[in-house]
Amino acid sequence: MTDYIIVGAGSAGCVLANRLSADPAIKVVVLEAGGPDRSPFIHMPAGYRQLMMSGAVDWGYHTVPQKHCGNRTFFWPRGKVLGGSSSINGMVYIRGHASDFDVWAQKGNPGWSYADVLPYFKRAESWELGEDEFHGGSGPLRTSRVKTFHPLAQAFFEAGQQAGYPRIPDVNVAEPEGFGPLDSTIADGRRSSTAYCYLRPAMKRPNLTVITRAHAARVIVEGGRATGVEYIQDGQTRVLRAEREVILSGGAINSPQLLQLSGIGDAEHLRSIGIKVVHDLKGVGQNLSDHVAAEIQQVCRQPISLLREMQPLNMAKSLLQYAMFRTGPVAHPGIQAVGFIRTRSEVVAPDVQIHFIMVMYGDHGRQLHRQHGYQPLVNVQRPASLGTVLIRSDDPLQAPAIDPNYLAEPEDVRVLRDGIKLTREILAQKAFDPYRGEELTPGPGVRTDAEIDTFLRHNCHTQYHPVGTCKMGPDPLAVVDQRLRVHGLDGLRVVDASIMPVMVSANTNAATIMIAEKGADMIQQDASGQRADAA
């Protein structure tokens, strides 16, 4: 018997494991379906492309065919390893716009406004430039910024200003808008995953147990209360009991999947696949949201793109430099600059984000273009299209049906199209004159709205930010309340990106870590209240 079971040692679960086990009187067990984070490609920042190519620490998910995108099936990589997707992502640290969190509060979630969550962002962070109004200086998660910008990144900053957008020194202020430098979850040339920053220090504690390669099969619910977890390890089914709470931190795919496998979800759907209904909760697996993206690929007339660093001899030199000093090209993922712009003046905040990538590739980085170039990656910040994650059977080892429903809403198509147009204007500025070559995609033959829309439907892809499938709120499709407790059940919470009622307008890792920091406080506060009531 343990006090808390955390299912999933990913971006959120590692944070919870650290914070909850800080009390030596509390016993915590973490179940992780993946293995230890031993691969050197996890810890070397430039190694994430190799992780994508190998799929060694990935769930290997794919969506169902997307009917609004040429009936294509999309690859959806998610981390299956200690640290979860924080161990395989691009290490971008961006929190989102203040209005994102204010909307959460306005939707019936008191305590989740920007003013409420900023202290948790700061508590998590140790920014290399030190604490200030927006950044923390002593948290477990170490963040940094590149010291010397590549000429192409400099051109991107300058072109943004020439096109009329502001240059911002920090994209993690309350209301980022314009072009500025990226912060990264990197320190001393090493990836700052939550496994490395939060879990590893806590694993020295005798009251924390981490069980890897343990695939959760169902939550055990007795008398309206979650009392344990059934999991599969080495082909054997095992049971672990929790005295206080079961906490799901599997992310936007695995958390709703586990709830449904446990008989918690839409009763009609569960009955249709032969699962006994334990608790009818219609919103489980609904409200799936993801940033959909497309890029412009342009040839660089000078041989200065990051392709130069990927040549065999240069790569060998870089690896040697990294091995000796933890510095050099492979000590950074290669993304240095970002832009936040509005497609219309009346929108409340920027609705397009542009990651500037200084090499051209396809198929999630698995196909490298052997030509010098760059590609601004344009994504819809606040997608209107919503999808689902629904299990197909009672088999816990079968992947669920993932349907992000990309570009179902015309507004998403309009925003992405306008984002492409505005980014073309940025690339046409004087700052890119020394570098600008042929536009390869969408290409000079794609100019009209109809042509751009067709290109987008056949070439858009995930930006790796699924959220929302166990959303927080008081409405009929909400799964958890504002304290992240599953509606209608005791002893069960969800603490991960799936609780976001609305997508944040940024890469989602920073916000997920914040959710776990705040969730840990809530769990501890509620436990203290229960003890006080009992006394």
Selecting among 150, 291, 355, 465, the annotated active-site residue is 465
Mean predicted lDDT score pLDDT of the chain: 96
pTM: 0.97
Q: What is the mean pLDDT of residues 45-55?
A: 91
Which of these CATH numbers, 3.10.20.30, 3.40.50.2300, 3.50.50.60, 3.40.30.10, describes 1-142+188-291+466-535?
Answer: 3.50.50.60
Q: What is the DSSP letter of 490?
A: B
* The pLDDT of residue 45: 96
* The pLDDT of residue 532: 41
Contact between residue 161 and residue 180 where contact means Cβ atoms under 8 Å apart: no
The domains spanning 1-142+188-291+466-535 and 147-181+292-380+408-459 adopt the same CATH topology: no
- pLDDT of residue 535 exceeding 70, the answer is no
SS3 of 187, please? strand
Q: How confident is the model at residue 53 (pLDDT cuts 50, 70, 90)?
A: confident
Residue 317 to residue 329: CA distance in whole angstroms: 10
Q: Structure tokens of 79?
A: 């981390």
* The pLDDT of residue 529: 81
Residue (of 306, 293, 47, 292) closest to 153 by Cα position: 306
Q: How confident is the model at residue 135 (pLDDT cuts 50, 70, 90)?
A: very high
Q: What is the mean pLDDT of residues 15-29?
A: 98
pLDDT digits (tens, 9 = 90+) for 242-257: 999 999 999 999 999 9
Q: What is the mean pLDDT of residues 113-120?
A: 98
- pLDDT of residue 436 exceeding 70, the answer is yes
Q: How confident is the model at residue 531 (pLDDT cuts 50, 70, 90)?
A: very low
- pLDDT of residue 530 exceeding 60, the answer is no
* The pLDDT of residue 518: 98
Q: What is the mean pLDDT of residues 291-311?
A: 96
Asked about 465 being catalytic, the answer comes back as: yes
Q: How is domain 147-181+292-380+408-459 classified at the architecture level of CATH?
A: 2-Layer Sandwich (3.30)
Ordered by start, the domain boundaries in the chain are: 1-142+188-291+466-535, 147-181+292-380+408-459
Contacts of 232 (CB under 8 A, 6+ apart): 214, 215, 217, 238, 396, 397
- pLDDT of residue 97 exceeding 90, the answer is yes
The partner residues of 278 in beta bridges, in order of sequence, read none
Return the amino acid letter for 427. Answer: L
